Amino acid sequence: MYKVFVNDCPIILTENKKISTKYKKVSFNSSKINSVLTDLFEKKLLGICFVSNDIEADWQQFMSFFKIEKAAGGKVFNKKNEVLFIYRLDKWDLPKGKLEKGECIKNCAVREVEEECGIENLTIKNFITDTYHVFEKKGKLILKITSWFLMYTDFEGELTPQTEEDIEKAIFKTEDEIKVALENTYGNIKLLF
């Protein structure tokens, strides 16, 4: 199953014909993608579920509608078992950023977390998942594929938010604080908790 967010509204692509969802279920047909995207961008649609007969072939067809942008980030735990969050553009988020040419995805994840939060001593423990979201940039539709890694740090210094990236805060949050933050975050971030 793939879940792609457009304005925080999901496009679900699944082979499970019996999936339980509040969204309209329709057979996957690539000719419907442009109208679905338009409706999602204009908030005329809150989500849709495409049922596929060949999920990998249909996923490749779906991706062909977009310019692909790869990114990576981290769900970072400290010694107190708190999770690192950033606050940007009035939403709580996890640190992540764009893959540079020639860079491996793990190095990108570590670099972006370090840059966005002013943190050191990061260790990648394992890959979590990829998330997907669509946005428009300069008249082109972009499908951003973000690879997420579980990370740990023993860093105890002061965090420094990367203000030139519009990050206002970088802070470790407790379990209770995370629950509150997840009420004001993006759909793809919620998938990581």
pLDDT in tens, 140-168: 999 999 999 999 999 999 999 999 999 99
Which residues partner with 27 through β-bridges?
A: 51
- Both tokens assigned to 94: 């996890």
Pairwise CA distance, residues 108 & 37, whole Å: 29
- Both tokens assigned to 141: 């539709």
What 3-state class would DSSP assign to 168? strand
Q: What is the mean pLDDT of residues 52-71?
A: 96
pLDDT number for residue 30: 86
7 or 70, which is more confident? 70
- What confidence tier does 58 reach under pLDDT thresholds 50, 70, 90? very high
Judge residue 168's burial from the number of C-beta atoms within 10 Å of its C-beta, 0-12 exposed, 13-18 middle, 19 or more buried.
exposed
pLDDT number for residue 125: 97
Burial 23-37 (b: 16+ CB within 10 A, else e): beeeebeeeebeebb
Q: In this structure, what DSSP letter does residue 139 have?
A: T
pLDDT in tens, 166-192: 999 999 999 999 999 999 999 999 999
pTM: 0.93
Query: Is the pLDDT confidence value at 123 over 90?
Result: yes
For the chain, residues classed under CATH 3.90.79.10 are: 68-190
The answer to whether 9 and 49 are in contact (CB under 8 A) is: no
Q: What is the CATH number of domain 68-190?
A: 3.90.79.10
Q: What share of the chain is helix, strand, coil (3-state, %, to 5)?
A: 25, 40, 35
- What confidence tier does 71 reach under pLDDT thresholds 50, 70, 90? very high
pLDDT in tens, 75-106: 999 999 999 999 999 999 999 999 999 999 99
- H helices of 91-141, in order, are 105-117
pLDDT in tens, 5-36: 998 999 999 999 999 999 999 999 888 899 99
The answer to whether 162 and 118 are in contact (CB under 8 A) is: yes
CA distances from 131 to 87, 169, 193 (A): 19, 23, 13
pLDDT number for residue 4: 97
